[in-house]
């Protein structure tokens, strides 16, 4: 009796696992292509993270860029990255590097939402994750 239950459970487990690996990952959203990986490398080489955050983690000189593509659009992001501003440096990136960075940021954008509301930003520029942590 018990053996039969275990055999049934084992078969269900194996079929579920195989089904999960074969059918549930369509590989379109999270699988990074070459451009995305190149963009990630540029992001690391140019140290964008020292001023920007992804999901609230990183430097605090510039804004969180997790959802910058869906909220502000590709053209605005491209212009900032290509030319810099008074506050953000112009890093003399090639068009290819800029496009790869956009591909990387779009990919990050697809991974989820990072909602940092203005009332969560402390006057020092850091984020208030929890009120009165001490």
Our finding on whether 72 is near ligand HEC (CB under 6 A) is yes
Residues touching ligand HEC: how many (CB under 6 A)? 23
Q: Which of 80, 78, 69 is nearest to 111 (CA)?
A: 69
Residue 106 CB burial class (10 angstroms; 0-12, 13-18, ≥19) = middle
Query: Closest distance between ligand HEC and the C-beta of residue 106, in Å?
Result: 11
Main-chain dihedrals φ then ψ at residue 53, nearest 5 degrees:
-110, 155
- In 32-124, the DSSP E strands lie at 53-54, 57-58
- What residues form DSSP beta bridges with 121? 127
Least separation in angstroms between CB 53 and ligand HEC? 11
Candidate list 52, 64, 107, 109; residue touching ligand HEC; CB under 6 A: 52
Decide if residue 121 touches ligand HEC (CB under 6 A). Answer: no
Shortest gap between Cβ of 94 and ligand HEC (angstroms)? Answer: 12
Distances, alpha carbon 124 to alpha carbons 60, 61, 77, in Å? 9, 10, 25
62 near ligand HEC, judged by CB under 6 A? yes
Q: Per-residue string for binding with ligand HEC, 73-92, x by CB under 6 A?
A: ---xx--xx---xxxxx-x-
CA atoms within 13 A on the CB side of 3: 0
Binding site for ligand HEC (CB under 6 A): 46-48, 50-52, 61-63, 65, 68, 72, 76-77, 80-81, 85-89, 91, 101
């Amino acid at each position: 009796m018990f053996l039969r239950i275990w055999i049934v459970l084992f078969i269900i487990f194996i079929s579920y696992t195989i089904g999960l690996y074969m059918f549930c990952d369509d590989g379109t959203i999270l699988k990074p292509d070459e451009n995305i990986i190149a963009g990630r490398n540029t992001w690391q080489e140019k140290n964008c993270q020292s001023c920007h955050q992804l999901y609230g983690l990183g430097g605090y000189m510039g804004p969180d860029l997790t959802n910058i593509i869906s909220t502000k659009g590709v053209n605005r992001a491209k212009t900032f990255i290509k030319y810099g501003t008074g506050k953000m440096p112009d890093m003399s990136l090639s068009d290819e590097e800029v496009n790869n960075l956009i591909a990387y940021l779009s990919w990050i954008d697809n991974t989820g939402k990072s909602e940092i509301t203005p009332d969560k930003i402390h006057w020092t520029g850091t984020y208030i994750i929890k009120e009165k942590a001490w």
